Amino acid sequence: YLVGFNLSPVLWRKLPGARSAGRVQSVCLRLIVEREMEIEAFNPQEYWSVKAQLSTPRGQSFEARLTSLAGKKLDKYDLANSTQAEMAVQAITSRDLSVQSVESKPAQRNPSAPFMTSTLQQEASRKFGMGARQTMSAAQRLYEAGHITYMRTDGIDMAPEAVMATRDAIAARYGADYVPSSPRMYKNKAKNAQEAHECIRPTEITKDAAALKLTDADQRKLYDLIWKRTIACQMAAAKMERTTVDITSPDQQVVLRANGQVVLFDGFMRVYEEGRDDAPTGDDDDKRLPQVMQGEALAKGDITPEQHFTQPPPRYTEATLVKRMEELGIGRPSTYASIVTTIQDREYVRKESNRLFPED
């Protein structure tokens, strides 16, 4: 109450440049300011890694990274400078290498829940760079045209008849293998969620974006996103095999590791994969490894030291700010768009290259 809307008249009197304050708005702005202070205070730390190109007796090559040196498992910052990195390179170069172990494990990924307001805003920001206001404007027009259900909702449950229609659509388009044995049920775990409405979904799941022939680019992209997410949420899990290969020298002084992943059945990934807030590192998991056998000798190719520096925490995007508000239980998911828009309209925050900066 004390930091809510009642504070706005006080700000107008004491700080003529201030426009408004609010229980959620003020905390949202504080998150952005505190992040900027973290970035300004950040001191980068240097560290190094070492990677080796290896080949099997059959001529198949793959990459492995150094994980242990002189009998000690390497932490991220153990190779602190170029001298230590070069010593590690020499340790690998001067030794023969062979496969110590090969371990393969089955794994699976389940689809994400259908959209509610906050997750729709986050995903539209990640995939298309759309702001919260732009997303909600396009969603409003899709709703008014009868193409989607109500777009201001904290709910992720789906009406039973919509679930059955979606399962039927999956079977018709992709085959029975893509339909799980029982419907997937979702419920919002957030304490402040008010699930008066169901999830955001197409009103007619049989109509994809091409069938609607939407002329507005934002509406077309957003409808396609909603349709794919809705279809995917009722599809079978993706099945993978994850493989870890450990490589060592006869004296056990160096150990390298290669990781890989093979998709055995794409499941929901055939239609849709959720975007990421952080850039993929490209280190391992999605690589396919050649077949190797325990005890097999490996030929060495290029052995490369790589310099890295720790990075400051990234400035918030609209997507990551909404996600953080959700994690902290600030406000309600269905009102996040208006809060993020307000702090920009009041010129407390500006957006550059999709990142949010506090104004002086």
150 is catalytic: yes
The amino acid occupying position 294 is Q
CA distance 249 to 233: 47
Q: Which amino acid is at 114?
A: P
Nearest Cα to Cα of residue 336 among 176, 116, 177, 170: 116
Token look-up 């056998």 returns: 293
Please report, in angstroms and rounded to a whole number, the separation of the first and last CA atoms in the chain.
Answer: 26
* Residue type for position 26: S
**Integer CA distances (angstroms), 308 to 17, 43, 268, in order:** 43, 13, 36
Q: What are phi and psi of 260, to 5 degrees?
A: -150, 165
For residues 38 and 312, the answer to whether their CB atoms sit within 8 Å is yes
How far out from the chain centre does Cα 136 lie?
A: 21
Sign of the C-alpha dihedral computed for residues 263, 269, 274 and 276 taken in this order: positive
Contact 280, 305 (CB under 8 A): no
Nearest to 130 by CA among 42, 223, 257, 54: 223
Name the catalytic one among 1, 77, 150, 186.
Answer: 150
Instruction: Name the nearest CA neighbour of 191 among 324, 23, 328.
Output: 328
The beta-strand segments (E) located in 202-253 are 238-248
Active-site residues, by number, are 150
